[in-house]
Structure 1
Amino acid sequence: MPSDLDYTPTLLPLPAGQALRVHVAAGTVLHAATGEMVLAGPMQWLAGRCHMPQQRLRAGDTWIVPARGWLTVSAIRGGTLSVTVPPGWLARLRARLALPWHHARPAARPAPLRIPDPARQRR
């Protein structure tokens, strides 16, 4: 699995009959470049019971993981799975710090205005 610092997809070759277990974050994009695979997970609790949703990916199919957790990828026909991890908090922080900071310029000092004193004019 790639770290949360890079956005490049990782290609995982899977021969027919091989299974792979990976921990994925919500928003991870899985793309079957070639072959056919069955994805099981991530585990969910429905009505007090454990449910393991299954998804079939054929060559060219893409699936976005709805929740973080463990996923089992089983290759029916040998192929390649592309895994792209969404940026984590560290990558977002680095991108934020790389932005140029524009500090507001201090406003020009206002010129002092003389307020006429009504007591002086009455003399």
Structure 2
Amino acid sequence: MKSDLNDISTVVPLAAGQCLRLRVAAGTVLRAGAGELEVTGPPQWLADTCHVPQRRLRAGDTWIVPARGWLVVSASRAGALSVTAPPGWLPRLKAWLALSWRRAGAARQPVSGQIPDPAPERL
């Protein structure tokens, strides 16, 4: 049985001309499922100059993000992008919190009830 805690992969369909901004951790795996995608970022400092690397991913190409930061993914042709977060305690904690929040849906509703009187009045 597959656990929700280990499934940190997301597939994002992109139409031609669509742009997506992502904040990713170092070690995140990007895979172009279809189409042609251009990945820009994350920004890096090189000798007092901000350099923003660009990479083109065609169907089936995979790239591992070397540093954390923001990426811009643009689709020149319609395609799909698979984003897999690196293993680690923080992504698992986020997945676990999201899972427990979804499961506790009905429990989040306030329940009205009478407050018991700890010292009833004697006559």
Regarding TM over 0.5, the answer is yes
Gaps of 5+ in 1: 94-123
Identity %: 69
Q: For 2:86, what is the secondary structure of its paired residue?
A: coil
Output the amino acid matched with 1:59.
A
How does the TM-score come out when normalised to structure 1?
Answer: 0.68
Match of 1:120 in 2: none
Deviation, structure 1 residue 52: 0.2
Deviation, structure 1 residue 91: 6.0
How does the TM-score come out when normalised to structure 2?
Answer: 0.68
Cα 1:91–1:20 shift into 2, 3 Å: closer
Q: Over alpha carbons, which structure has the higher Rg?
A: 1
Output the amino acid matched with 1:30.
L
Tell me the distance in 2 between the aligned counterparts of 1:74 and 1:32: 11
Number of aligned residue pairs: give it: 89
CA contact (8 A) 1:7 1:85 kept: no
Tell me the distance in 2 between the aligned counterparts of 1:92 and 1:17: 33
Tell me the distance in 1 between the aligned counterparts of 2:24 and 2:51: 17
Match of 1:85 in 2: 85
Mapping for residues 36-75 of structure 1, pairs under 5 Å: 36-75=36-75
Structure 1 segments of 4 or more deviating over 6 A?
A: none
Match of 2:102 in 1: none
CA RMSD of aligned residues (A): 1.7
Mapping for residues 15-26 of structure 1, pairs under 5 Å: 15-26=15-26
CA contact (8 A) 1:11 1:80 kept: yes
Tell me the distance in 1 between the aligned counterparts of 2:12 and 2:91: 23
Tell me the distance in 2 between the aligned counterparts of 1:25 and 1:59: 23
Gaps of 5+ in 2: 94-123
